[in-house]
Amino acid sequence: MKLVICLLTLSIVTLSEGKSSKPSGMEVKSFSRKYGFSLRVRLEKEELILKKGAFKVSLLPNATVALTNRQEVWFLKTPVLLTNNGVILPSSLIERLLKATKKAEYSNPKPIEKIIETSNRFNSSKDKIKFIVLDAGHGGKDPGNVHHGVSEKKVNLIITQKVAAILKKKDPNLRIVFTRNDDRFISLEGRSNMAVNLSRLNHQGLFVSIHANASLNSKSKGIETYFYSSNGSHKSHERIRCFRNLILPLSQNPKVHKIITKMYDLQISKESKYLAQYVNREVYSRVRNKTNNRGVKAHKPYFVITHNNLPSILVEVGFLSNSQEARMLMNSSHQYQVALGIATGIHRFITQFNNSKGFLEP
């Protein structure tokens, strides 16, 4: 699936086929000869690649999905059929292939912004971010890092509550869900299940976890922001299990399923990275005189952001093991500045995402 995956990066466009499509079709070799396409068959992958000019499409026999090099997914009513007479392309697909290659834009690709404008996940009406899960790390019997008389669970909760209050003011329509809003213990599964269950309602959301760091080196200091990355060291099978709940209705074909899942994973990880970049930049711009920026990083295998199906980040707001920083993190005006940075970054990401029906790199 390597090649297929290479074709899939940013966006997905769903196009359903019209009911008028005729049941008949054409054998793929005859089609490519007649219309000047080159045909490549990758037997080991059971994949067919049709190419004409700058346009390329990957087809899978018996699948109702086709993938173009313009990062579009075509959902087909009639599958590409593997028969004794060869591979038959349904006529509706043929029409679309001819239409696609007629357009001058394929020989002269659009700038990426244009593509993003017309892109969405799976359904444009569901393409706005409607909720955010704010996850104050630790709580109850689990204090997190404790240094210099400051416990992490307390700092995390105060900052999380401030983030929520600022976000509510910026966007009264955004639904804010806390994994905890007081000093209680919630398991890691409990936290990520909230995100998974909410996204089952077919709304877009974000997941932001807030923590404070500690290091054996008492001089370590600074903020850092982790994001979910499909390229991270952690195997993403757990995450794919979460995606499955969302994707299953789209296709019962396991092969198509795998592709869409992978695409979804890549897209979510890209969005997670952008969200982390927005947040990191906004937080650092407010605390730059007081601490370092350790930057934006692909996730360590943090449970809450890997067992999840939303764009997910984990913000480390500072080091409690550093006495100066521990003091700072208990200072309410510093807490407010950090919270304002996190909320502003989130709000900027949401505004950008909702207005572009997709996402743009900050």
Footprint on this chain of Zn ion (rule: CB under 5 A): 137, 144, 211
Return the residue nearest Zn ion (CB atom): 211
> b/e for 318-345, b at 16 or more Cβ within 10 A?
bbbbbeebbebbeeeebbbbbbbbbbbb
Q: Which one, 137 or 232, has the nearer CB to Zn ion?
A: 137
Q: How far is the CB of 211 from Zn ion (least distance, A)?
A: 3
Check if the beta carbon of residue 100 is closer than 8 Å to that of residue 124: no
Q: How far is the CB of 12 from Zn ion (least distance, A)?
A: 34
Q: How far is the CB of 207 from Zn ion (least distance, A)?
A: 15
Q: Which one, 144 or 358, has the nearer CB to Zn ion?
A: 144
Q: Which one, 162 or 211, has the nearer CB to Zn ion?
A: 211
Check if the beta carbon of residue 188 is closer than 8 Å to that of residue 303: yes
Q: How far is the CB of 299 from Zn ion (least distance, A)?
A: 13
Q: How far is the CB of 81 from Zn ion (least distance, A)?
A: 53
Residue in this structure with the two tokens 């930057």, named with its chain if needed? 295
Q: Which one, 65 or 157, has the nearer CB to Zn ion?
A: 157
Q: Which one, 94 or 186, has the nearer CB to Zn ion?
A: 186
Check if the beta carbon of residue 29 is closer than 8 Å to that of residue 37: no
Rounded distance between C-alpha atoms, residue 340 and residue 163, angstroms:
6
Q: Which one, 168 or 300, has the nearer CB to Zn ion?
A: 300
Q: How far is the CB of 352 from Zn ion (least distance, A)?
A: 28
Q: How far is the CB of 144 from Zn ion (least distance, A)?
A: 4
Q: How far is the CB of 318 from Zn ion (least distance, A)?
A: 12
Q: Is 1 exposed, middle or buried (0-12, 13-18, 19+ CB in 10 A)?
A: middle
Angle at 351 between CA 350 and CA 353, to 5 degrees: 60
Q: Which one, 144 or 311, has the nearer CB to Zn ion?
A: 144
The closest of 40, 37, 46, 59 to 106, measured between CA atoms, is 37
Q: Which one, 209 or 309, has the nearer CB to Zn ion?
A: 209
Q: How far is the CB of 305 from Zn ion (least distance, A)?
A: 12
Q: Which one, 137 or 345, has the nearer CB to Zn ion?
A: 137
Q: Which one, 204 or 312, has the nearer CB to Zn ion?
A: 312
Q: How far is the CB of 152 from Zn ion (least distance, A)?
A: 5
